[in-house]
C-alpha cells in the first residue's frame, strides 16, 4: 500500500482528501500544522506528498524547495495544491513535481498521484 502525506491546514479539505485516498487504497496521514514537518516526513516516509501552498505562517513552496534539496527527501514526489492559479507558474520553480488547483476534480488528482507513484517506482526499480 502506497503512503501519502497530506500537508494542508484546511481541515475540511484534509478530511475530504483523507477519505477519498483511503477509499483508493492509499495509506494516508494528514498534517495540519507545519511545525516539525520534516520530523513527521522522516517518521512517516511517504511515497508522495500533497502540499498546500498557503499554510498558516508558512509558504508551502519554500517547504517544497527545502524538501527537494534535502538528501533524505528529494526523491519524494510533491504535488502542490492551491486555490490560486498564479501559483502554477512558481510551483515548478520550487521543485514541485506537479500542481493541482482547488477546487479539483477527484479523478484528475488521482491520475496525477498514480502517475507520480509509477514514475517513482520505475526510478527505484
Q: Are strands 98-101 and 78-82 parallel, antiparallel or unpaired?
A: parallel
Q: What is the pTM of this model?
A: 0.92
Homologous superfamily of 3-124: Response regulator (3.40.50.2300)
Task: Enumerate residue ranges in the chain where pLDDT < 70.
Answer: 120, 123-125
Distance (Å, whole) CA 102 – CA 98: 13
The string of pLDDT tens digits covering residues 72-104 is 999 999 999 988 877 777 888 899 999 998 888
Strands of the chain, DSSP E: 3-7, 27-31, 48-52, 54-55, 58-59, 78-82, 98-101
Q: What is the CA radius of gyration of the chain?
A: 13
Amino acid at each position: 500500500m502506497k503512503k501519502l502525506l497530506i500537508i494542508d491546514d484546511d481541515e475540511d479539505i484534509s478530511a475530504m482528501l483523507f477519505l477519498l485516498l483511503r477509499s483508493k487504497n492509499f495509506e494516508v496521514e494528514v498534517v495540519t500544522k507545519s511545525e516539525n514537518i520534516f520530523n513527521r516526513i522522516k517518521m512517516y516516509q511517504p511515497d508522495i506528498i500533497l502540499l498546500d501552498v498557503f499554510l498558516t505562517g508558512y509558504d508551502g513552496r519554500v517547504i517544497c524547495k527545502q524538501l527537494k534539496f534535502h538528501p533524505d527527501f528529494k526523491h519524494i514526489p510533491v504535488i502542490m495544491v492551491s486555490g490560486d492559479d498564479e501559483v502554477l507558474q512558481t510551483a515548478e520553480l520550487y521543485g514541485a513535481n506537479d500542481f493541482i488547483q482547488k477546487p479539483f476534480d477527484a479523478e484528475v488528482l488521482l491520475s496525477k498521484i498514480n502517475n507520480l507513484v509509477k514514475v517513482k517506482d520505475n526510478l527505484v526499480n
